[in-house]
């Protein structure tokens, strides 16, 4: 268990959640920086757009959060809390912060330079899948939701994440878990559908391509 160095939550004024997964009170990035340090988020997630935290290791299991959509971060923390997204460690971390903390921490990470890779992994077939999809197999083009280079959304919800420049092994695992249904917290099951027909080599190629962006 973590020895949590508590910073008192601001006067019990928990932000009021609305159904779109955003907070009524906008986060404060300055306060968020202190909270991200004291709650140890930075240890695993890092603030360097090129890496996730120092203990990431060969498993590559930590996600980068720099430049991530704040509404996406807020939604994931809620999903970890409720079990809509299953992960024991993050469920514990998510329960150690309240909604106001999360809004602040999300604002802090969102304001940092956006995550990026080294640009050296242009995997042509993956790029094709990303840009055009494969309608015959029910694979919608990723670009339609995740935007050019995976850096943001082109349409739809504010909770669509940045995926370009994310950690490769993390991406590969998420795509595999969407396909198997182990992860199923995307709106209307969109991510479960688009990954259904993908093969293991395609998932690896997509993860590698995206990580390089």
Contact 207, 172 (CB under 8 A): yes
Nearer to ligand HEC, 185 or 208 (CB): 185
Nearer to ligand HEC, 83 or 156 (CB): 156
What is the contact surface with ligand HEC in residues (CB under 6 A)? 39-41, 43-45, 61-63, 65, 73, 75-77, 87, 89-90, 93, 97, 105, 129, 139-140, 142, 144-146, 156-157, 159-161, 163, 166, 171, 174-175, 185-187, 190-191, 194, 206
What is the DSSP code (8-state) at residue 15? P
* Alpha carbon distance 67, 116 (integer Å): 9
Residue 40 backbone class (left: φ over 0; alpha: ψ -120 to 50; beta: rest): left
* Alpha carbon distance 74, 82 (integer Å): 13
Closest CB 12 distance from ligand HEC, rounded Å:
19
Closest CB 139 distance from ligand HEC, rounded Å:
6
Nearer to ligand HEC, 116 or 146 (CB): 146
DSSP secondary structure, 167-184, as one string: -HHHHHHHHHHHHHTS--
Nearer to ligand HEC, 24 or 199 (CB): 199
């Amino acid at each position: 268990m973590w020895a949590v160095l508590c910073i008192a939550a601001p006067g019990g004024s928990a932000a009021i959640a609305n159904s779109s997964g955003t907070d009524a009170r906008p986060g404060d990035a300055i306060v968020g920086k202190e909270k991200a340090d004291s709650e140890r988020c930075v240890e695993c997630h890092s603030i360097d757009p090129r890496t996730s935290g120092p203990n990431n290791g060969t498993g590559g299991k930590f996600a980068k959060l720099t430049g991530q959509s704040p509404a996406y971060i807020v939604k994931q923390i809620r999903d970890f809390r409720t079990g809509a997204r299953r992960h024991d460690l993050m469920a514990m971390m998510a329960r150690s912060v309240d909604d106001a903390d999360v809004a602040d921490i999300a604002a802090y990470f969102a304001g940092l330079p956006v995550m990026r890779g080294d640009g050296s992994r242009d995997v042509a077939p993956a790029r094709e899948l990303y840009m055009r999809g494969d309608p015959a197999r029910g694979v919608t083009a990723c670009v339609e939701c995740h935007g050019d280079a995976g850096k943001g959304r082109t349409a739809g919800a504010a909770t669509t994440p940045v995926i370009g420049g994310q950690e490769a092994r993390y991406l590969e695992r998420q795509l595999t878990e969407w396909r198997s249904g182990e992860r199923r917290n995307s709106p209307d099951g969109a991510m479960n559908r688009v990954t259904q027909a993908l093969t293991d080599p395609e998932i690896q190629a997509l993860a590698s391509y995206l990580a390089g962006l």
